[in-house]
């Protein structure tokens, strides 16, 4: 892949970095909407008037958020009515660049391992350090080229 892909990966890593600490902060067991509504002292009736949803719909949405099944647009409506912004992001567990490197190493290890196993069966095995070097070199090539089968492991 080219420099533009590398730039895009760096830019995404930088944009997502501030969200990394949020991965470690679990939401309240009742969900954010209910926790904020209750902290502000807003009743279901009052929130119902602000959103145009029935009280039972709000109850259902709050329960759905706690379970992780609430619809995104419903949660956005609750957030708006609570004078909040719904912030949405997929937060990688590690940097995207590191994830790509890890995938390249895993794929290279699998590919080199297949060949090494065949060679051992034919009594043509190579030393472990040679195998490790081959994995490193192939991983660098896979990372640079990232063909269609890059994620096929």
Residue-wise pLDDT tens digits, 26-59: 999 999 999 999 999 999 999 999 999 999 999 9
Q: Is residue 27 part of a domain?
A: yes
Query: What is the dihedral angle through the alpha carbons of 90, 96, 101, 107, rounded to the nearest 10 degrees?
Result: 30
> Residue 54: which domain range?
3-81
Mean pLDDT of 89-101: 93
Q: In this prediction, what percent of the chain has a pLDDT beyond 90? A: 76
Pair (39, 64) in one structural domain: yes
Pair (47, 110) in one structural domain: no
Pair (54, 101) in one structural domain: no
Give the integer Cα–Cα distance in Å for 16 and 46.
35
We report the CATH number of the domain holding residue 48 as 1.10.260
pLDDT for res 124: 58
Query: Which position has the token pair 């192939």?
Result: 138
How many domains, the chain?
2
What Å distances lie between residue 15 and 4, 9, 10, 11, 23, CA to CA?
16, 10, 9, 6, 15
Q: Is residue 105 part of a domain?
A: yes
Confidence of residue 6 (pLDDT cuts 50, 70, 90): confident
Give the integer Cα–Cα distance in Å for 82 and 149.
46
Pair (77, 101) in one structural domain: no
Pair (47, 116) in one structural domain: no
Pair (77, 100) in one structural domain: no
Pair (74, 8) in one structural domain: yes
Residue-wise pLDDT tens digits, 123-145: 555 677 888 899 999 999 999 99
Pair (57, 103) in one structural domain: no
94: left (phi over 0), alpha (psi -120 to 50) or beta: beta
Pair (63, 108) in one structural domain: no
Pair (74, 105) in one structural domain: no
């Amino acid at each position: 892949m080219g420099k533009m892909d590398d730039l895009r990966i760096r830019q995404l890593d930088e944009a997502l970095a501030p969200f990394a600490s949020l991965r470690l902060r679990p939401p309240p067991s009742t969900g954010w909407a209910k926790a904020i509504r209750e902290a502000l002292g807003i009743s279901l009736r009052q929130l119902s008037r602000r959103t145009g949803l029935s009280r039972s719909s709000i109850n259902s949405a709050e329960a759905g958020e706690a379970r992780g099944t609430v619809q995104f647009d419903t949660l956005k409506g609750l957030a708006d009515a609570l004078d909040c912004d719904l912030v949405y992001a997929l937060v990688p567990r590690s940097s995207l660049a590191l994830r790509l490197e890890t995938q390249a190493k895993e794929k290279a290890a699998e590919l080199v391992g297949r060949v090494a196993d065949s060679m051992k069966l034919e009594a043509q095995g190579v030393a472990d350090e040679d195998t490790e070097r081959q994995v490193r070199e192939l991983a660098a090539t896979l990372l640079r080229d990232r063909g269609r089968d890059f994620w096929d492991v």
